[in-house]
Amino acid sequence: MTSSSLPPSPIPLLTSVASYRQWRQRAFDERKSVGFVPTMGALHDGHLSLVQKSLAENELTVLSIFVNPAQFAPHEDLATYPRTLPGDLELLTAQQVTVGEAVRKASAVFLPSVQDMYPSGISQDVSAQRGAFIEMKGYGHQMEGASRPNFFRGVATVVTKLFNAVQPTNAYFGQKDIQQALLLRKLCKDLLFPHPEADHVHIVPTSRDPNDGLALSSRNAYLSANERKFAPALYKALQYAESAWSNGESKDRCISRALAIISEVKAQAVVDGVDVRLDYIEMNDSETFDVLDASSNNQSVAGDIPMILSGALWVGKTRLIDNIVVGDLNRIII
């Protein structure tokens, strides 16, 4: 994006890695902590909850907006992904947190170009790609990775680039994308990242619609009013599975209960002319990401380790994801 096409903003907009680096150097010189919230834009209250946490915990906060081509498969929605920069800047400008005497607001918005982020170019067709890419072996093929085979390669690659550019003290990710957040912690640990260190990658709880629990997502904007009515089905199904799990039922039984909810909603949706289709609901170990055995239950799995109950649901042409961490999110070890 060129500076002349940018909307007016009281927060400095840094559109190149070079201009960002100058800004970052000043923060290093002044020994100020920098919190970082990477996003693809189309900001909503979920993103803003990450910003609030960063403002509270850091002297400076940087938010990036970059729609990353490498994490979209050729058949996915890169071209139509919502791009709402003027509205995003308005929302971000309104955010503030008071810490002691100081009122903290976002310090900079990083808006790199595709050319800056992918100097060797970027094709969505993996077989045609050239240059450096990051693969998290063993952690990218379960849950979301089972349905989107190159997704986490694209995410790990872009976040590596963003971390190299932004050099944050702390980084903030949403539980909404739990596998992504955990995988990125492992990335920082495995590659010995100094900025941020793995234990400075923070996970913020999922923000939901207060009325029906639907996880906030930029992709919710794709839903028609009719489709929106059926979108909370996934969270409801996950809640049923969670409650069965806490009652000591086997994993298979918990998943069956969730599937029964989806079938009910699907039948109602057909009557309204809405196509509801489950991609997956699964329960996985939060450390290894392995699928839990069918017969396991809350007595048989190691006491303290949280489990990830997650799923993806198509409502019309929109793919929605959600998860519940069964157990204490803070006990997840990487």
CA distances to 30, 254, 269 from 138, rounded to whole Å, are 40, 26, 37
220 vs 298 by CB, closer to ligand AMP: 220
50 vs 89 by CB, closer to ligand AMP: 50
φ, ψ for residue 50, nearest 5 deg: -70, -40
Q: Is 195 annotated in the active site?
A: no
Q: CA–CA separation, 144 vs 129, rounded Å? A: 22
CB of 134 to ligand AMP, least distance (A): 17
CB of 321 to ligand AMP, least distance (A): 10
Tokens of 134: 């990051």
Q: CA–CA separation, 162 vs 71, rounded Å? A: 14
Q: CA–CA separation, 19 vs 62, rounded Å? A: 13
CB of 100 to ligand AMP, least distance (A): 27
Nearest by Cα to 195 from 25, 11, 13: 25
94 vs 221 by CB, closer to ligand AMP: 221
Q: Are residues 35 and 54 in contact, defined by beta-carbon separation less than 8 angstroms?
A: yes
CB of 241 to ligand AMP, least distance (A): 20
Q: Give me the residue whose beta carbon is nearest to ligand AMP.
A: 174
Q: What is the DSSP letter of 30?
A: T
CB of 308 to ligand AMP, least distance (A): 14
Tokens of 266: 């699907």
Q: Are residues 233 and 276 in contact, defined by beta-carbon separation less than 8 angstroms?
A: yes
Q: CA–CA separation, 82 vs 77, rounded Å? A: 9
Q: CA–CA separation, 242 vs 251, rounded Å? A: 10
Q: CA–CA separation, 274 vs 276, rounded Å? A: 6
Contact residues toward ligand AMP (CB under 6 A) are 39-40, 46-47, 49-50, 173-174, 176-177, 204, 206-207, 215-218
42 vs 258 by CB, closer to ligand AMP: 42
CB of 271 to ligand AMP, least distance (A): 29
Please list, in sequence order, all residues whose beta carbon lies within 8 angstroms of the beta carbon of residue 270, skipping any fewer than 6 positions away: none
Counts of helices then strands in the chain (DSSP H, E): 10, 11
72 vs 230 by CB, closer to ligand AMP: 72
Q: Are residues 258 and 240 in contact, defined by beta-carbon separation less than 8 angstroms?
A: yes
* Mode of pairing for the β-strands spanning 102-104 and 97-99: antiparallel
254 vs 332 by CB, closer to ligand AMP: 332
Q: Which of the residues 47, 75, 200, 202 is marked catalytic?
A: 47
Q: Which residues are catalytic?
A: 47
